[in-house]
Structures are given as structure tokens and as C-alpha cells.
């Protein structure tokens, strides 16, 4: 197995371990979502059942009253005013006894009340007083269609009443309007509430049993889908890792440089509270910032000494080459904010486009600082590492010229700790720490 294959499989095994950790959370995640769905469906079902049963209860009571009233009063002529009031009164009394009515009011076709009858039964005396005391709070809106309108209301003392209001027609001629207030016996209300409770319990148990039956099917489908998602994400992470390693085969220090500079960038970004998504972009960009060097020849990339003007122009082209490499890849493409801009300068004197100030994406302004810092403190084919103090001095010379001055000050405040925490770690330690951060931002 050659060096490139070895590096590839090492990276693959490490990423697999990260995915395995993430996979252990699938069951917990699924149970939480399944429980939420079950509770949500139960709540929606309960609300729907209550509304449906209430509607049926009210309409069935109202329809029953209407049928009996219509049957008793259908014998009257074109209008109630021309009818025999004594006979009408007798019929109304019979209705009130049969249906437990407390009040009946009859209006003519002009909506003028000409008849009102209240129950004379002793058992309704106290209830009649309650209704009359609360009568002004009961709506008296005349129906605008042939449909019956109803109102179920409760008065102090937990006494329940049903008010219905509807027009009377005979041979399509409007005779008038009837308003009826009926007392609803407590046993009827109790049975209604019991039926609601029974129905809710039945539906809830049915939902629960159904959930238990389909749970294995949904769980395995969810697990398979999540596995595919993690596989795709791991493949994407492997892409940037492999591309970084490909550079390492051509530049002896670039691989460790990738680890260090990415760690610097993440910790620096977190110290200034950069948003979560931008840090993910920064991580990808840090891995791929020099990917364009694949297209630079060895005699320039590894030259021991300064580059001449022509060679420097070729070296600078690695920025554009890098953007071309990630172009068209939806997951990698946002890394171009680092790849394309990390050699731009705050005063506009950088390359490739001479962009300046806040026009340079913040991820590139952050990376420019940590990239130069690591380059200064690292050994290169053309130089020995500078000391921490000398490196910071050089960075300060670039205040608001090479670098964003505000970000530079923020970095300098934490740079000594970053330097001590990172420079003393071996490659495997750096990789392990970086994998933990990749897991946090991409796989959790």
C-alpha cells in the first residue's frame, strides 16, 4: 500500500468512528420525534373529537326540538297572527311539557314579537328565573336563512339550556320565527361528557396500538435514511480530507499546516462568537484553502529560495485553480469564500481581485490572520520558523493594511494560548482534536 492509499484509509477509519458515534444517537432521536408526533396527533385528535361530538350533540338536540315544534305547529295557516291564539296556546303548552321547554317566543314575518309563553311548571320556576335574569346576555339574532341556529349556554348554578331560533315556512311562504329555550337535564349533559371521554380514550388507545404496530417499520426506514445521510456527509468530509492530504504529498508541511490552521481558525472564530454556519464554512475553507496548489509544478511549489516575478504569478494562480476545483459541488462551493479571498489584503493590495475592507468575507479575514501566523511560526522549505514574539510583531505590521485591524487585535489577545496549546501537539493529537470539532459542527 503506497503513502497516498495509507493516508486515505487512515482518514476513512477515523471518519467511520465519528459516524458510529453519531449512529448511536439515532434511537434516541427517533424516540423523541416519535413521541412528539404521538402527542401532537393525540392532541389534534382530542380537539377534533370534542368539536365533532359537541356539534353532533347540539345539532341533534336542536333538530329534535325543531321536528317536534314543526309537527305541532304545521297545521296553522299563512301566518300566526290569524290563528286562534287559545288553540296556539294549548299546542305550545303541550310542546313545553313534552320537550322540557322554558320559554317559547313567536315572531311574525316582520320580526315583531306577538306571542311569548313561559313554562308554568313548578320544577322550572327557579330555572325560569335564571334564564330571565340572564336573558339579556343571550343572543337574539334572527336567522338569515332557512337553517336553524342554536346556542348552548350555562347559567349560574351549572344549569344548561339550549336556545334555538329558526324561521317557519309553509309552502315556501315565511310565516314567522320561533325562538325556543329548552332546559337540558343534567343526566343528558353527564352522558354527553361520558361519551366524549369514552371516545377520546378509545381513539387514544387506537392511536397508541397503531403506533406500536408501525413503529418497527418507521424506525428501520428512519434508520436507513439517516445512515444514507451520514454516509453522504461522511463522504463530503472525506472529500475535503483527501484533497488536503493530496496537497500533503507535494508539500511536506501542508498536512500539519491544515490541521493547525483549521484549529486556530475554529478557536478564533468561536472566541468572537462567529455564527455556527459561518464556522462550518470556515472549516471547509481552511482544509481547502491551498487545494489549488495541486496545479502548481514542484519546481515552483518546493523551490528552496525566493520566487521570481514569473514564478510568483504562477504561484498566485493557485487561488483561482482552487475555486475551479470546488466549483459545481454544492457542499464544497461555499469554501470559495476562504479559497478565493484568503490572500486579499484589507487595504486592497492583495490578490487575485484587489478586494478590500469589509468586502472581504469575514471567514477569509479570519483565515488570513491564522494562515500567516502559522506560516510564520512553522518551518518551510525556504525558511526556519520565527519565534512567537517575532511572528506577532510581523502581524502587527499588517494592522489595517494586510489584516482587519479589529480582528487582528482579537486574535492577538488569544494567540499566545493558541500557540502553546497547538504547537506542542503531535500530528495525531492535532487530528484527534480536529475530528472532535468536525463531529460537533457537522455530525451532531
The CATH number covering residue 173 comes to 3.30.450.20
Query: By residue range, what is the domain housing residue 165?
Result: 81-185
In a domain? residue 12: no
Beta bridge partners of residue 183, listed in sequence order? 161
What is the pLDDT, as a whole number, of residue 384?
Answer: 85
Q: Is the dihedral of CA 7, 13, 17, 20 positive or negative?
A: positive
Q: Are residues 173 and 251 in the same domain?
A: no
Q: How far is residue 424's CA from residue 377's CA, in Å, rounded to a whole number? A: 12
Q: Cα(246)–Cα(78) distance, rounded to whole angstroms?
A: 99
Whole-angstrom distance, CA of residue 81 vs CA of residue 424: 106
Are 171 and 298 contained in the same domain? Answer: no
Do 343 and 396 sit in the same domain of this protein? yes
Examine the domain organization and report whether 439 and 295 are in the same domain: yes
Polymer length of the chain: 444
Question: 254, exposed or middle or buried, with CB in 10 Å at 0-12, 13-18, 19+?
Answer: buried
Dump pLDDT digits (tens) for 412-439.
Answer: 999 999 999 888 788 888 888 888 888 7
- State the Cα torsion 9-15-433-8 to the nearest 10°: 20
376 and 433 both lie in a single domain: yes
> Which secondary structure element, helix H or strand E, spans residue 184, and what is its range?
strand 173-184
In a domain, 277, yes or no: yes
Helix (H) or strand (E) holding 163: strand 159-170
Could you tell me how far CA 96 lies from the centroid of its own chain? 57
| Model pLDDT, residue 18 | 40
3-state class (DSSP) for residue 156: coil
CA dist., res. 118 & res. 92, Å (int): 10
Hey, what's the cell of 199? 371516545
Residue 162, pLDDT score: 80
CA distance 299 to 314: 11
Tell me the pLDDT of the chain averaged across its residues. 80
Distance of alpha carbon 111 from its chain centroid, rounded? Answer: 54
Beta carbons within 8 Å of 42's beta carbon, 6+ residues apart: 204, 207
pLDDT category of residue 382 using cuts at 50, 70 and 90: low
Does residue 3 form part of some domain?
A: no
Residue 396 covered by a domain: yes
Say if 200 falls within a structural domain.
Answer: no
pLDDT digits (tens, 9 = 90+) for 61-98: 788 878 877 777 666 655 555 666 677 777 777 777 77
Q: Is residue 249 part of a domain?
A: yes
High-pLDDT (> 90) share of the chain, %: 24
Helix (H) or strand (E) holding 249: none
Whether residue 352 has a cis bond before it, omega within 30° of 0: yes
* Of 165, 185, 205, the domain-final residue: 185
* Full DSSP string of 402-440: TB-HHHHHHHHHHHHHHHHHHHTS-HHHHHHHHHHHHII
Q: Angle between the 254-271 and 186-248 helix axes, to the nearest 10 degrees?
A: 140
Residue at 192 is within a domain: no
The three-state DSSP-derived secondary structure of 326-388 is HCCCCCCHHHHHHHCCCCCCCCCCCCCCCCCHHHCCHHHHHHHHHHHHHHHHCCECCECCCCH
- Looking at the structure, tell me whether residues 265 and 393 fall in a common domain: yes
288/274 Cα distance (integer angstroms): 20
pLDDT in tens, 132-180: 666 656 667 788 777 788 777 777 667 778 888 888 877 777 878 888 8
pLDDT at 361 over 60: yes
pLDDT digits (tens, 9 = 90+) for 237-254: 777 767 776 676 666 555
C-alpha grid cell, residue 284: 471547509
Give 225's pLDDT tier (boundaries 50, 70, 90): confident
CATH number at residue 374: 1.10.3210.10
Residue 282: C-alpha distances to residues 12, 266, 269, 365, 413 (Å) = 22, 7, 9, 10, 20
Does 150 lie in the same domain as 244?
no
The most confident of the ranges 171-175, 255-259, 400-404 is: 400-404
Last residue of a domain, one of 155, 185, 215: 185
Alpha-carbon radius of gyration of the chain:
41
Instruction: Give the contacts of 369 (CB within 8 A, at least 6 positions apart).
Output: 268, 395, 403, 404, 407, 408, 411
Residues 6+ apart with CB under 8 A from 263: 418, 422, 430, 433, 434, 437
The last residue of one of the domains, among 185, 203, 219, is 185
Alpha-carbon distance of 339 to 289, in angstroms, equals 4
Number of domains in the chain: 2
Maximal C-alpha separation, the chain: 123
Q: Note whether 171 and 244 are same-domain residues.
A: no
User: Do 367 and 241 belong to one domain?
Assistant: yes
pLDDT of residue 2: 43
Amino acid at each position: 500500500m503506497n503513502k497516498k492509499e495509507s493516508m486515505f484509509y487512515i482518514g476513512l477509519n477515523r471518519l467511520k468512528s465519528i459516524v458510529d458515534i453519531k449512529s448511536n444517537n439515532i434511537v434516541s432521536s427517533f424516540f423523541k420525534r416519535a413521541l412528539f408526533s404521538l402527542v401532537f396527533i393525540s392532541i389534534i385528535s382530542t380537539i377534533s373529537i370534542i368539536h365533532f361530538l359537541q356539534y353532533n350533540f347540539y345539532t341533534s338536540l336542536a333538530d329534535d326540538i325543531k321536528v317536534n315544534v314543526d309537527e305541532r305547529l304545521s297545521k296553522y295557516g299563512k301566518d300566526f297572527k290569524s290563528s286562534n291564539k287559545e288553540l296556539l296556546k294549548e299546542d305550545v303548552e303541550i310542546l313545553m311539557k313534552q320537550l322540557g321547554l322554558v320559554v317559547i317566543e313567536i315572531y311574525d314575518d316582520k320580526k315583531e314579537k306577538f306571542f311569548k309563553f313561559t313554562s308554568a311548571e313548578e320544577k322550572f320556576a327557579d330555572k325560569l328565573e335564571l334564564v330571565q335574569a340572564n336573558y339579556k346576555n343571550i343572543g337574539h339574532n334572527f336567522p338569515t336563512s332557512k337553517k336553524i341556529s342554536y346556542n348552548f349556554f350555562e347559567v349560574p348554578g351549572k344549569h344548561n339550556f339550549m336556545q334555538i331560533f329558526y324561521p317557519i315556512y309553509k309552502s315556501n311562504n315565511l310565516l314567522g320565527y320561533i325562538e325556543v329555550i329548552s332546559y337540558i337535564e343534567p343526566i343528558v349533559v353527564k352522558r354527553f361528557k361520558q361519551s366524549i371521554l369514552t371516545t377520546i380514550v378509545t381513539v387514544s388507545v387506537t392511536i397508541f396500538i397503531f403506533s406500536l404496530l408501525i413503529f418497527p417499520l418507521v424506525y428501520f426506514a428512519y434508520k436507513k435514511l439517516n445512515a444514507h445521510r451520514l454516509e453522504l456527509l461522511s463522504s463530503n468530509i472525506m472529500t475535503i480530507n483527501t484533497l488536503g492530504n493530496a496537497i500533503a504529498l507535494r508539500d511536506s508541511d501542508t498536512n500539519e499546516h491544515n490541521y493547525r490552521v483549521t484549529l486556530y481558525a475554529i478557536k478564533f472564530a468561536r472566541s468572537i462568537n462567529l455564527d455556527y454556519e459561518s464556522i462550518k464554512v470556515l472549516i471547509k475553507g481552511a482544509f481547502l484553502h491551498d487545494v489549488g496548489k495541486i496545479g502548481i509544478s514542484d519546481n515552483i511549489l518546493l523551490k528552496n529560495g525566493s520566487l521570481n516575478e514569473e514564478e510568483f504569478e504562477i504561484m498566485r494562480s493557485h487561488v483561482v485553480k482552487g475555486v475551479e476545483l470546488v466549483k459545481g459541488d454544492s457542499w464544497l462551493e461555499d469554501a470559495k469564500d476562504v479559497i478565493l479571498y484568503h490572500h486579499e489584503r484589507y487595504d486592497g493590495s492583495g490578490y487575485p481581485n484587489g478586494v478590500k475592507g469589509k468586502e472581504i468575507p469575514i471567514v477569509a479575514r479570519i483565515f488570513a490572520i491564522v494562515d500567516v501566523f502559522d506560516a510564520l511560526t512553522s518551518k518551510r522549505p525556504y525558511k526556519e520558523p520565527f519565534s512567537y514574539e517575532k511572528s506577532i510583531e510581523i502581524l502587527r505590521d499588517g494592522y489595517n493594511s494586510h489584516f482587519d485591524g479589529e480582528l487582528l487585535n482579537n486574535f492577538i489577545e488569544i494567540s499566545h494560548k493558541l500557540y502553546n496549546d497547538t504547537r506542542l501537539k503531535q500530528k495525531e493529537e492535532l487530528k484527534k482534536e480536529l475530528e472532535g470539532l468536525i463531529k460537533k459542527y457537522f455530525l451532531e
